[in-house]
Structure 1
Amino acid sequence: MFFRLWPMLLVLFTTSVAAIDFDYQGISGESKDNVKVYLEAQTFPDNSSARRIISASSEQTKRALRALGYYQSEITITETAEKKFLVDVELGERLRVNKFELDFVGAATKDSRYTGAIARSGLAEGQVFTHAAYDSLKSEFDRLASRYGYFDAVYHKAEVQISIVNNTADIYLSYDSGERYRFGDIVFTNPELPQTMFANLAEFNKQDRYDSQKVGEFNQRLGETDYFQVISVRPDIGNRHDGEIDLLVGLQLKPRDTFEVGGGITTDIGPRVRLKWTRPWVNENGHSITFEIEAAEPKQSAQFVYRIPIDNPVDDYVDIQTGYIREKTNDTESEKTILSTTRQWRLDNEWKPSLFLKWQHEEYRQADQYSVSDLVLPGANFARLRTRGGLDPYWGDNLQASLEVGHPYWGSDVEMLRLAGLGKWLRSYQNHRILLRADLGGILVDDITDVPASMRFFAGGDQSIRGYDYKTISPKNDDGQLIGGKYLTVGSVEYNYQFAEKWRWATFVDAGTATNDFSEPVSVGVGMGIRWLTLIGPLRLDVAKGLQNESDPWRIHFSLGPDL
C-alpha cells in the first residue's frame, strides 16, 4: 500500500509555488489596488499552465471589479513572458442604484448615529452602487446595535438584485432595531466581596441607556484597583427583561502577596532598581498594604503605604504613609523621614483633589550650610490627566498643582508657603506632534536658607532643561556652590515627526531658571533626538546643548516613559 502512495506523497510535499508577476493596463487607483489584492492572493503550482493561470486570474479580476460596482468590464489577460502576465481592463460604467427600499423601524429611527450611517453610506437612487458600501452599512448597523444596546435588532430582509442588462442595483433592506435597553443591576458572582464598593466604580447608573464603552471602562477601573488577577464584565443578554439588561461581574482575587522587581536607567540618576511588595487584600473592607524600595547612586528611598478605600479604592480613599529618602546630588546631601496621611477623591470634571497632613524631619547639607529641620505641613494637591490613544497617546494633557504651608503655630520650624505646578500638553496631526511643558514653583519665606534642601528649587536634566546636568541650575553662594532657589520657571517646546512605524525624530527648545530674585540669566537648551516606541512608552535619546555659555558641551539625555 505504501509503495502505491509514495509517488503522490512525493509530489504533494515537493511541489513548489510559482512566482507570477502581473502588469496592469486600463485601471488605476482603487480599482487597480483591489485587483492586485485578489490576484496576489492566488497560488499556483510551479508546473501550472498559462491557460490555467489566465482562467483563474480572469475570474478573480472580475470579482475584484464587481465588488466596486464594475459589472460591465472587459478583461483580457495575456502572457508576455514566462510567468509574467498583462491584465488589460476596460472598466465600463459602474452600477447605479435604481431602487433603495429601506424599511427602518424601532427606537433607532430617532438615533442620529443610525441616520448618520445611512447618509454616509452613499446608497441612494441614482448613485453608484458598490458591495463594499452595502456591506459596510449593514456592519455599521450591527456595530451600533451591539454598542448601544439594541439587542433585539433584526433584519427581516436584506437583499440586492443586480441587473447586468440595465447595469443597475435594487436594494431591499428591512431593519427593526427594537428598543434600546437600559442598564439594570450589577450582579457579582462573588457574594463574599464588598459589592457596593466595587459597583461605585461604574460611571453609569441603573436605568442609564446601555453603552458597551461604559462597560469596558468599568472593567478597566476594576483592574486599576490592583485587587484582581481575573476580571469579567459582560451583559447578561440571554436574561434581558423589561427593557433592562444586567451586568454579570466575575472577579478572582490576586494571591495574598505579590512581589515586583523592576528598574531602569536615565542620565539624571543612572541605573535604578525597584523592589515592591503588595498585599492587595488585607481585610473584607478592601484595605491594602504596599512597601516599595528604590535605589540609584544619587538617591535611595523606601516607603510604606496603608490604603483605606472610602467610596472606591481607585480614586476615593485615605492613605497613611511613612517613608525615608536619602539624596546626594551635586552640592546637596539630604536624609528625610516622612509620616503623612492623605485624603483623595475625584470630582465629576475629572479633577482629583487631595488634602494631606505631613510631618517631615530632614537632616541636610546644602553647599556650606548644615541644618536639621522639622516641619508639620498641611496642604493640598490637584491633578487631572486626560489622554487618548492608549500607551502611545496622540492627544492629552497633565495638570498638577500643590500647596504646602508651614507655621510655628502647628509645630514647624519655619513659616513658609510653597506652591508648585506642572502642565504638559500633547497634540498631534497625522505624523506631526507638538509637546508643550511648563514647570512653575515658588516659596514664600524670608530666607531660603530656612527651607530644607529637598523643598528648594533646582533646574536642569532630562525632565527639566536639557543641555544641562541634573539639578545644576540654581543660585550659588560666593564659592560657586549651588544653594537652591525660591522660584522655578521652566518651559519647553518639542516637535516630533514620525518617519516609521516605531520611530520618531524630535527637536526641542527648553528654557528657564531656578532663582531667588530673577537676577540670573535664563538658561536655554536646544537639541534633537530620536524616539523608539516601546510597550511601556517611548525610549528617548536626546543630544542637547546649553546656550548660556559658549563653552557648555553637548550633553546626552536618555529616558524612558510616557510623554504625559
Structure 2
Amino acid sequence: MLSRPLRGGRFWLMITIDRLMKATILFVGLYFLSAPFLNPSIALAADTLEIKIEGLEGKPRENVEAILRSPHGIIRPDGTINLPLVRYFEKDVPGRVREALEPFGYYESKTETNLRKVTEDSYELGVLVRPGEPVLVTSVHVDVEGPGKEEVALARVVRRFPLGVGDILQHELYERAKDEIQSRAVGLGYLEAEFTAHQIRVNPEEKKADIELILATGNRYFFNGITFSGTNSYPHRFLKRYLAFKPGEPFSYPKLGETQANLRNSERFSDILVSADRTGAKDYRVPVDIKLTDAPSKRLRIGAGYQTDTGPRFSLLYQDLNVLKRGHAFDTELNVSEVFQGVASRYIIPSSRSYLSYTALKVNFQREDVSAYTTSLGMFEIDRERRVGPGRRAGVFLRFLYEDSDIGGERIRSYLTLPGVKFAAEHYNNPIRPTRGYGFSGELRGTAEFLGSDQTFIQVISQGHYVRRISKSFTVHTRAQIGLSVQKESINDMPATLRFFAGGDRSVRGYSYKSLGPKDDEGDVIGGKNLFVGSLELERAIGESLGIAAFYDAGNAFNYLTQMRLFQGVGLGVRYYTLVGPIKLDLAHPIDKGSPVVRVHLSFGIGT
C-alpha cells in the first residue's frame, strides 16, 4: 500500500522549530515564573516613601492601605521628597485610620506613627494600629410592611440578613443587605418600595449598636399592553417571541433589559429602545413601548483564517433573516480549506414560543481528505431545537446520510437514517476572554436496519470546557471529549465521519490532525469506536489582550477499554485576544518515543 506524502514542507518546519524553540520555551518559562515579581512601579515607590502598617489584617488592613496612599505632591518634580508635606500627612494618619476602621465596627482605634529616614532620599512611615474592641450588634429589627409583606421571595431575603445579635458591626454587610432587600422588592413589581426606617444607633463607649430597617413596599405594578413601532417588516407574532415577559405579569426592570438583549442578539435590528411609561400606568398596570429600526436582512459575510489542522481556510456565508417577511431565515455557507470543502444550507422556521426555539431543514455536502481517510457525503436533516433555560438548549433531529469513504485502502458506502437527541449549555462571563464559566454539549444518536440503514449502532458524544480564575493573573482551563459506540457490525463497516480519531489543535496537541487511533495490519490509522481526550491548561494574563499558557493533553481513540493507550502532549503557548477572536500559538512536545521534539499548533481567523 502506498504511503501518503508529507504536505507542504511541514516536516522541514518541524526540524527548524526543534532547533529554535528550546530557547523560546526556556525564556517563556522563566518569565512565567518571575513575572509576578517584575513590577517597576512598586519598586520605584519603595525608593521614596514606604508606608508600613502593623496591627491589622484582612479587609480592615486593605481599607487602611487604600486611605493611606501617598498624597499628590509627596514627590517633587525634581524627584526629591517633600518632607514638610510628609510630616503634615503623618499628623493626619490617625484620623484617616479611624475613618477607615469605623465601617468594620472599630470606633475607638489608637494609632502611632514613626517617620524615619532610611537612605539619603528614602523614608519609611511606620503605622502601628491598635483597633481596640469592636462595636457589637445588640438588637436587630428588620421588617416589611405593606401589600408585599407576605411575599415569600422577599421574606427569604429578610431572613438572610447577615448581621445578628452578638456580631461585629460591619457597615458594608448592612448596606449590601439593605440594597438587596429593596432591589428584590422592586424586582417583584413593588416599584415604590422605600425604607421608612433605616438607621444604626451606635454607642461607641458601650460598644453597642442597634439596627432598625423597615421597608414599605407600596402597591404592586404589572405589565400592561406591549406596542411595537418603527418596523413593518416583521409580523407582530414573530416579534412577541423576543419578549421576556407577558402582559399581566409583575413588572420587572430586569425583564425589560432581557427583552432588549433578546432583540439585539437577533441581529435583525440596528436600533432598539424598550421603555415603560410608569407615569401612564392605570390601576398599577404599566404600558411598554418597543421602538425598532430594521437592519438589512440580506447579508454576505467573508471569512478567512488558518489552523495547523486544516491549513489556510476560507468561508463565504449568505444570510436572509426575513424570508417572505415572516421572520423565517435562510443561510448557505461555503467552506474551503486544504483538507475540507463543503457547502451547507439551512431554512429556519421560528417558534412562536421562544426566540431560541425553531425548526430547521438542513442540506449538507462535503468532502474531507486527511491522512487517515478520504470521504464524501451528502446529508439532509430535520432539526427541532428548543430553549430549556438561560444558556441551555435541547433538540431532536432526523438525518438521512449517504457517505462514500476510503479508509486504509478500503472503500465503504453507507446509507443511514440517523435519529437522535442533543443538549447544549453555555455560560461565560466574557465571550472573548472568559475567566469564569463553562460550556457543554452532548448528543445521543443511533440507527438500525429496520430504519432503512445498512448498519445498527448507538453512539454517545459529549464534550465540555470549564474555566476558572484562581488568582488575579492565573486562569485554569479544562476540557474533555468522550465518545462511545455500541455497534452490531465491525468498525470496518462504519463510515469515516462516524468513527473517532484523536490528535490536533483541539484534541491532543503534539500530534497531527486525526493521527491517533486504532490501526490496521499495515499500520494505517483507521479510527475507533470510542474516544477519550482530556486537557489541563494554566494561563497567565499579561495585560488586557496577551497571555501565556502551559498545558497538558492526553487522549486517544480505541475500540476496547483493554486496548486503550493514552497519548500525551505538553507544551507552552501564547494567546492574543482580539475582538474577532483569539490568535493561539502552541509549542507542544509529544510524550512518545520516536515523535518530534516540538510540534507547532497555530490558529486564528476573521469571520470564521
- Does the TM-score normalized on the shorter chain lie above 0.5? yes
Q: 1:180, 1:560 → 2: CA distance? A: 54
Q: Deviations over 1:443-481 (max 9, x none)?
A: 6558946x6554555444344455543233456555544
Matches for 1:163-242 after TM superposition, within 5 Å: 163-190=203-230, 192=232, 193-202=234-243, 204-209=245-250, 214-233=255-274, 235-242=276-283
The residue identity in structure 1 corresponding to 2:236 is Q
Cα shift at 1:323: 3.9
In structure 1, what is the equivalent of residue 59 of structure 2?
30
Cα shift at 1:369: 4.6
Aligned equivalent of 1:424, options 463, 480, 484: 463
1:358 corresponds to 2:387: no
In structure 1, what is the equivalent of residue 338 of structure 2?
297
Conserved? CA contact 1:441–1:457, under 8 Å: no
Cα shift at 1:494: 3.3
1:556 corresponds to 2:590: no
In structure 1, what is the equivalent of residue 514 of structure 2?
471
Matches for 1:339-354 after TM superposition, within 5 Å: 340-346=380-386, 348=388, 352-354=394-396
Aligned to 2:529, what secondary structure does the other structure show?
A: strand
Q: Deviations over 1:135-173 (max 9, x none)?
A: 223222343234343311112233344444444444443
Q: 1:175, 1:206 → 2: CA distance? A: 27
In structure 1, what is the equivalent of residue 12 of structure 2?
none
In structure 2, what is the equivalent of residue 155 of structure 1?
195
**TM-score of the superposed pair, with normalisation by structure 1:** 0.78
Conserved? CA contact 2:510–2:570, under 8 Å: no
Q: 2:269, 2:447 → 1: CA distance? A: 35
Quickly say closer, same or farther: Cα 1:39–1:348, change in 2 above 3 A.
closer
Aligned equivalent of 1:510, options 531, 555, 578: 555
The residue identity in structure 2 corresponding to 1:525 is F
Quickly say closer, same or farther: Cα 1:56–1:121, change in 2 above 3 A.
farther
Quickly say closer, same or farther: Cα 1:208–1:425, change in 2 above 3 A.
farther
Cα shift at 1:96: 3.3
Aligned to 2:106, what secondary structure does the other structure show?
A: coil
Aligned equivalent of 2:368, options 320, 327, 331: 327
1:399 corresponds to 2:442: yes
Task: Name whichever of 273-282 and 303-312 sits farther off.
Answer: 303-312
1:79 corresponds to 2:115: yes
Q: Deviations over 1:226-277 (max 9, x none)?
A: 3233344455444445454454433333224333333343332233222323
1:49 corresponds to 2:85: yes
Aligned equivalent of 1:60, options 87, 96, 102: 96
- Percent of aligned positions with the same letter in both sequences? 20
Q: Deviations over 1:292-323 (max 9, x none)?
A: 22222111222233323243685433434444
Quickly say closer, same or farther: Cα 1:19–1:150, change in 2 above 3 A.
farther
Aligned to 2:132, what secondary structure does the other structure show?
A: coil
1:461 corresponds to 2:504: yes
In structure 2, what is the equivalent of residue 7 of structure 1?
none
The residue identity in structure 2 corresponding to 1:61 is V
Aligned equivalent of 1:143, options 180, 183, 199: 183
In structure 2, what is the equivalent of residue 311 of structure 1?
352
Aligned equivalent of 1:543, options 588, 592, 595: 588
Q: 1:268, 1:24 → 2: CA distance? A: 55
Quickly say closer, same or farther: Cα 1:384–1:477, change in 2 above 3 A.
closer
The residue identity in structure 1 corresponding to 2:534 is V
In structure 2, what is the equivalent of residue 389 of structure 1?
428
Q: 1:127, 1:459 → 2: CA distance? A: 57
In structure 1, what is the equivalent of residue 38 of structure 2?
none
Aligned to 1:34, what secondary structure does the other structure show?
A: helix
Aligned to 2:296, what secondary structure does the other structure show?
A: coil
Quickly say closer, same or farther: Cα 1:174–1:367, change in 2 above 3 A.
closer
Q: 2:208, 2:518 → 1: CA distance? A: 81
In structure 2, what is the equivalent of residue 525 of structure 1?
567
Aligned to 2:512, what secondary structure does the other structure show?
A: coil
Q: 1:202, 1:30 → 2: CA distance? A: 43
In structure 1, what is the equivalent of residue 473 of structure 2?
none
Quickly say closer, same or farther: Cα 1:186–1:438, change in 2 above 3 A.
farther
Q: 2:371, 2:274 → 1: CA distance? A: 52
Conserved? CA contact 1:468–1:546, under 8 Å: no
Aligned to 1:281, what secondary structure does the other structure show?
A: strand
Q: Deviations over 1:316-343 (max 9, x none)?
A: 33434444322221253334444x2524
Aligned to 1:187, what secondary structure does the other structure show?
A: strand
Cα shift at 1:286: 0.9
| Structure 1, unpaired ranges of 5+ | 1-17
Conserved? CA contact 1:286–1:313, under 8 Å: no
Aligned to 1:551, what secondary structure does the other structure show?
A: coil
Conserved? CA contact 2:509–2:590, under 8 Å: yes
Quickly say closer, same or farther: Cα 1:476–1:122, change in 2 above 3 A.
closer
Cα shift at 1:99: 5.1
Conserved? CA contact 1:65–1:71, under 8 Å: yes
Task: Name whichever of 425-434 and 170-179 sits farther off.
Answer: 425-434
The residue identity in structure 2 corresponding to 1:293 is L
The residue identity in structure 2 corresponding to 1:287 is H
Aligned to 1:255, what secondary structure does the other structure show?
A: coil
Quickly say closer, same or farther: Cα 1:30–1:490, change in 2 above 3 A.
same
Q: 2:561, 2:442 → 1: CA distance? A: 28
Aligned equivalent of 1:282, options 320, 323, 327: 323
Q: 2:425, 2:56 → 1: CA distance? A: 46
Quickly say closer, same or farther: Cα 1:121–1:34, change in 2 above 3 A.
farther
Q: 1:538, 1:237 → 2: CA distance? A: 48
1:39 corresponds to 2:75: no
Aligned to 1:138, what secondary structure does the other structure show?
A: helix
Aligned equivalent of 2:309, options 268, 276, 280: 268
**TM-score of the superposed pair, with normalisation by structure 2:** 0.73
Aligned to 1:152, what secondary structure does the other structure show?
A: coil
Higher relative contact order (CA closer than 8 Å, sequence separation 6+): 2
Q: 1:117, 1:355 → 2: CA distance? A: 43
Aligned to 2:53, what secondary structure does the other structure show?
A: strand
| Structure 2, unpaired ranges of 5+ | 1-46, 77-81, 471-475
Quickly say closer, same or farther: Cα 1:378–1:200, change in 2 above 3 A.
farther
